[in-house]
Amino acid sequence: MNKIEPRTLSGFMELLPLDQLKFNKLYDAIKSTYEQFGFLPLDTPIIEASEVLLAKAGGETEKQVYQISRGDSDLTLRFDLTVPLAKYVAKNYGFLQFPFKRYQIGKVYRGERAQKGRFREFYQCDIDIVGDGELSILNDAEIPYIIYTLFKNINIGAFVIKINNRKLLNGLFAYLNLQDKSVDIMRIIDKINKIGISNVKEELSNLGVIEEDIQKIISFVDIKGSNKEIINILKNLAYMDNETYKEGIEELNQVVTYAYDFGMNDDYLMIDLHISRGLDYYTGTVYETFLKDYPELGSICSGGRYENLAEYYTDRKLPGVGISIGLTRLFDKLLDLDILKEEKISVSDMLIIPMTDNYEYIIKVYNNLVKQNKRLQIFYDKRSIKSMINYATKLNIPRVIFIGDDEVNNNTITIKKLDSFEQKTIKLDEIAKEL
Amino acid sequence: MNKIEPRTLSGFMELLPLDQLKFNKLYDAIKSTYEQFGFLPLDTPIIEASEVLLAKAGGETEKQVYQISRGDSDLTLRFDLTVPLAKYVAKNYGFLQFPFKRYQIGKVYRGERAQKGRFREFYQCDIDIVGDGELSILNDAEIPYIIYTLFKNINIGAFVIKINNRKLLNGLFAYLNLQDKSVDIMRIIDKINKIGISNVKEELSNLGVIEEDIQKIISFVDIKGSNKEIINILKNLAYMDNETYKEGIEELNQVVTYAYDFGMNDDYLMIDLHISRGLDYYTGTVYETFLKDYPELGSICSGGRYENLAEYYTDRKLPGVGISIGLTRLFDKLLDLDILKEEKISVSDMLIIPMTDNYEYIIKVYNNLVKQNKRLQIFYDKRSIKSMINYATKLNIPRVIFIGDDEVNNNTITIKKLDSFEQKTIKLDEIAKEL
């Protein structure tokens, strides 16, 4: 028979089992932290009607989506978890409690050019808090606190959540009479760490911003200091007296102050006036998160405050604040960087190695351990002891249990720890105590 | 602005949050049981190259798949988890330990006619044990033991795993010289409970099976009794002396005997000679699982032994045995049948209700509880006490914590249990003891 090459598409992550265990550990930590903070799970379909999913989408998104034609239906694979959330809240409004706190961890699809570290199928891990008409600014402080708690709990090294408020930038643009260019300007200054200051200046100039205003924008976003120092400087920019700007300062100040109450400090939460997020979607607080030792990864967790989640589906005003971890890309990098390499995770705590055909006894032992909720397995196929121990070693299983005729006759088992080679034989009724 | 109707496609399950919590509980029970028994997690892509995914597929499958065209690539959404497993094992053979035990829980896609209880996107929860060249029959007994352990642990009522061995049927067909029709005959007798005996007779007759043979087939698959009785009757059918048949009896007898060792009995594991599974893929043991009180659901968990997992991708012989739970359909039915209706699950154990603006104190309490890994949330928006309690009640949150000026001044919190209305005020340093 002609064989088909068993290949996996490029841009699609498919892990070996022990790496998958590491991935799942990270996944579970994210999930349980999100739940600890009261977020309800959602699991929306991966396929939606194109008109629903692309209600808002612009040119770039449309080019990247995976579309399916089946009969006369026009279907699209979701490209993020925010649009499905908007649809869900609009659709189920009457059945939800507000503020509606939901998390969703799921795969999304973007047909980007495949390259190292870029994925076409990847997990996003989102939390959002959606209000009905209004939503307290305290939620904007809660979001970084959750990410802080999560990233402290998992072992990914030093990190910092950078924070800004788009009202500050919009206030600045209003002062400079550049409101009509604000989205474009934000998109350009957002790239400052990627493309450098001279390129940013050039792009702003190409956009028609005059030299004097470029200088003002650059020196504004470059304001440095501790969070409290920055807020003081911002407050003292006397010429900036429009309402948007004042709201921005007030909100940023509140978020930082509450974040301190939550136990965070400037090492973990840092005002950075460059941060604006590319999307025009955000209207207030914005977040990006960086690993301090690996800034080249870019932001591993981003989000912000928005005015109106679901305006394409409903007239109800649904403001919210949320953040998203790009898990697939983050995990891929953590593997690359050896941060996860040392970790030994196993799905089983022990492997029973039969050295007799008395399976009645072997199964009795197994059954006994299963009932105690032990995680274990029996190696059923006939192999050499060496190759069975090798199986355990390769799968990081820390202990093997030998059962031979001696053990059957004496009602015992022999336990061997594979790291220390320590071995002992115990009575069956001592199992619960011993293991 | 014109609004788009926020709809979800038919045939796609999208749950309300509290139902999603119930779904996740079932999902987690399946996952943790699979892991307890030593199965390694896999997470293969949902999209694969069409030539890979459809290497084996026949007409019906091809008609049902979702295909995507992007540039010159021809892509297909997976329609089961077995074909991706075959690809994975063939691709990663050198990196895997055999027997390779893997589970995968994931969404699959079939464009079936949408109707109540039929889904186009649904979860399959698969375990397979794949050998390299050979695989012990003990694994065929382990599989129902795992399902038995799982279904005993989750509250889904009385169930029975029905078991058969296709070698018995193939032996019978060999004796009747009907080998060339065996796949079709099995497909027909597999439907006996759905379409009734007279329709089965008619279909067999249409297939060209003579009346006398139809009688023999029907009386064979109708053999009834305890497992041991059935095996004795099968052994004593003196005219059936071909090797395939004898192997079938031997294997079935071993599986049943080991299953008894595992602690199962005839209430939970029952030989049923009708069971043959439609697919020509299976070669030995086959399983189907039924809820005794709801036989109309059909099999909720099916599988079997196969000779050769990956013959379309590799020359290596990779025999295996596996089983799959159709989770979406099962969950949908359990919801319908009120089996899950009473259950109250919450994502949070408590809700803090602020009755003061002293958020420094409120956050101090919150932080204290978060550090103890409590699952809780603060209601930040300003609402009436009644509506905040209503929020907790609607989300099944069992306790609220009131913090007002009295609590701030006295360094206390007031805890109220929402079911009993029991309320008490405790000192902050008693929290760990009290909660």
pLDDT, residue B295, reads 87
Contact B127, B322 (CB under 8 A): yes
Report the predicted TM-score, pTM, of the whole model to 2 decimal places. 0.96
Q: How far is A162 from chain B (nearest CA, A)?
A: 21
**What is the end-to-end Cα distance of chain A in Å, rounded?**
50
Closest-CA residue to A126 (of A193, A192, A43): A43
Contact A216, A174 (CB under 8 A): no
Q: How far is A281 from chain B (nearest CA, A)?
A: 17
Per-residue confidence band for A194, with pLDDT thresholds at 50, 70 and 90: confident
Buried b (16+ CB within 10 A) or exposed e, A133-143: eebbbbbbbbb
B70: closest chain A residue by CA? A66
Judging by DSSP bridges, how do beta strands B399-403 and B350-354 pair with one another? parallel
Mutate which of B2, B380, B387, B403 to disrupt the A interface (most A C-beta within 10 Å)?
A: B380
Q: How far is B371 from chain A (nearest CA, A)?
A: 9
pLDDT, residue A6, reads 96
Q: Tell me, what amino acid is at B312?
A: Y
User: What would the mean pLDDT of A348-372 be, rounded to a whole number?
Assistant: 96
Per-residue confidence band for A226, with pLDDT thresholds at 50, 70 and 90: very high
Q: Do A360 and B261 touch (CB under 8 A)?
A: yes
pLDDT tens digit sequence for A377-401: 999 999 999 999 999 999 999 999 9
Q: Between A49, A99, A374, which is nearest B381 by CB? A: A99
pLDDT, residue B59, reads 67
A92: closest chain B residue by CA? B16
A110: closest chain B residue by CA? B70
pLDDT tens digit sequence for A158-175: 999 999 999 999 999 999
Closest-CA residue to A276 (of A305, A310, A240): A305
Report the C-alpha gap between A252 and A164 in whole angstroms: 7
Report the C-alpha gap between B145 and A113 in whole angstroms: 47
Q: How far is B38 from chain A (nearest CA, A)?
A: 5
pLDDT, residue B157, reads 87
CB atoms within 10 A of CB B198: 8
User: What would the mean pLDDT of A189-210 be, rounded to a whole number?
Assistant: 91
Q: Between B35, B67, B311, which is nearest A347 by CB? A: B35
Closest-CA residue to A128 (of A177, A85, A80): A85
Report the C-alpha gap between A113 and A116 in whole angstroms: 10
pLDDT at A60 over 80: no
Buried b (16+ CB within 10 A) or exposed e, A329-347: bbbbbbeeeebbeeeeebb
Contact A231, A248 (CB under 8 A): no
Q: Do B3 and A395 touch (CB under 8 A)?
A: no
B136: closest chain A residue by CA? A381
Per-residue confidence band for A157, with pLDDT thresholds at 50, 70 and 90: confident
pLDDT by 10s per residue, chain B, length 435: 689 999 999 999 999 999 999 999 999 999 999 999 999 999 999 999 999 999 886 667 778 899 997 777 899 999 999 999 999 999 999 999 999 999 999 999 999 876 777 899 999 999 999 999 999 999 999 999 999 999 999 878 899 999 999 999 999 999 999 999 998 999 899 888 888 889 999 999 999 999 999 999 999 999 999 999 999 999 998 778 899 999 999 999 999 999 999 999 999 999 999 998 876 789 999 999 999 998 888 899 999 999 999 999 999 999 999 999 999 999 999 888 877 777 889 999 999 999 999 999 999 999 999 999 999 999 999 999 999 999 999 999 999 999 999 999 999 999 999 999 899 999 998 988 888
A394: closest chain B residue by CA? B97
Q: Do B6 and A364 touch (CB under 8 A)?
A: no
Range of lowest pLDDT (A32-36, A56-60, A86-90, B336-340):
A56-60
Q: Do A14 and B262 touch (CB under 8 A)?
A: no
Report the C-alpha gap between A335 and A340 in whole angstroms: 6
Q: Between A86, A363, A380, which is nearest B261 by CB? A: A363
pLDDT at A57 over 80: no
CB atoms within 10 A of CB B191: 16
pLDDT tens digit sequence for A136-155: 999 999 999 999 999 999 87
Interface A:B, Cβ pairs < 8 A: 253
Q: Tell me, what amino acid is at B109?
A: Y
Contact A264, A148 (CB under 8 A): yes
Q: How far is CA A57 from the centre of its chain?
A: 23
